[in-house]
Amino acid sequence: MAIRALLGAIKKRTVSFPAFRGHSIYRHGSTLVVAEHEGGFIKPPSLSALAAATCLPDPDSSVSVLLAGSGPSLHQAASHAASCHPSISKVLVADSDKFKNPLAEPWAKLVHLVHQSGGYSHIIAAASSFGKNVVPRAAALLDVSPITDVTGISDSNTFVRPIYAGNALCTVRYTGANPCILTIRSTSFPVPQNSVDSKSNEAPISQVDLSTFDEDLAKSRYISQTSQDDERPDLGNARIVVTGGRALKSAENFKLIEDLANKLGAAVGATRAAVDAGYVPNDLQVGQTGKIVAPELYMAFGVSGAIQHLAGMRDSKVIVAVNNDADAPIFQVADYGLVGDLFEVIPELMEKLPEKK
């Protein structure tokens, strides 16, 4: 019966995207979205930043997207950005080898340069590693204080952000000079399906004048970037996430989580304890000091539910928890809970699940 309930939770997952909010309040000015791109496409967190920009109310205000880099992939990404949402009024492209790598110094100076010519009221980026790297430096150059990790927009100067590991929400009113700089939590601003690839109304693409751009790379130097070759979905954007905790006891046992994820077409996550124990690399960590996720289905096996972990997954649509401790805090946030041995539950669940198509 317990396994049947878990199967029911998996089958009930649905794809639904709420409409954009905030059309009943007003703002004046324009918004710049600092976007990341890869392989000729705008990254999902940056699409969420665009969704946040549309939550700033005034329908007559303009939204510009800033892209930088070099090579064909940059121009493909610009074409994607120009057609990904009808609210975009302009795509700004900075084509130079200076922006080939995601270093904070040149990117922050670029944001400063573009703002000087555009005079934006808001500058928005995703609270990804890229945004967290660039935005504080750009804010310092512009002599303003950024508001970080925004999860809600009340009006053009009032925002909601989590504090105390997500256990409380703080409403912040910005009273400083323009621009108001925000980083947004991408899981709080989902992208409606009908906003992507709207070819009927493409925004114009303009080149950023870099003749006055003064580059100074003395403070940092790009060495390399490594990524895992993995067919699984990206953890930050996956529809289903299967997470394992310290109760897996070893890296070898953690393969149970990976096998289940493969069968579900899910991403793999881990608690900080599992990462610290060396079961998996730290890029799979979910929580306050890891990645923030909000999938349609979050399955937690051997996860106790520490506060810092809950802060990274509490916004999941459906949460399924399996733990042999009936008093584990994870059950307080779970929609479906099973008190049992994960080494028995996972194999039985694997037997009953159909093969991934």
184-240 pLDDT, tens digit per residue, is 998 889 887 655 555 557 889 999 998 888 766 567 788 877 766 567 888 888 999
272 is in an annotated binding site: yes
Instruction: Assess contact for 278 and 284: CB atoms under 8 A.
Output: no
Q: pLDDT, tens digit, for every residue of 160-190? A: 999 887 788 999 999 999 999 999 998 889 8
289 is in an annotated binding site: yes
**Predicted pLDDT of residue 199:** 57
Instruction: Assess contact for 185 and 73: CB atoms under 8 A.
Output: no
Where in the chain do CATH 3.40.50.1220 domains reside?
240-352
148 is in an annotated binding site: no
**Dihedral angle computed from the Cα positions of residues 328, 334, 339 and 344, in that order, rounded to the nearest 10 degrees:** -120
302 is in an annotated binding site: yes
Query: What pTM value is reported for the model?
Result: 0.80
307 is in an annotated binding site: yes
CATH of domain 240-352: 3.40.50.1220
Where in the chain do CATH 3.40.50.620 domains reside?
30-207
23 is in an annotated binding site: no
**Predicted pLDDT of residue 21:** 34
303 is in an annotated binding site: yes
158 is in an annotated binding site: no
112 is in an annotated binding site: no
- 15: pLDDT confidence band, cut at 50, 70 and 90? very low
CATH topology of domain 30-207: Rossmann fold (3.40.50)
Q: Which amino acid is at 252?
A: E
193 is in an annotated binding site: no
Instruction: Assess contact for 304 and 245: CB atoms under 8 A.
Output: yes
323 is in an annotated binding site: yes
34 is in an annotated binding site: no
Average pLDDT of the segment spanning 99-127 = 92
Q: Mean pLDDT of all residues in the chain?
A: 86
**Predicted pLDDT of residue 332:** 94
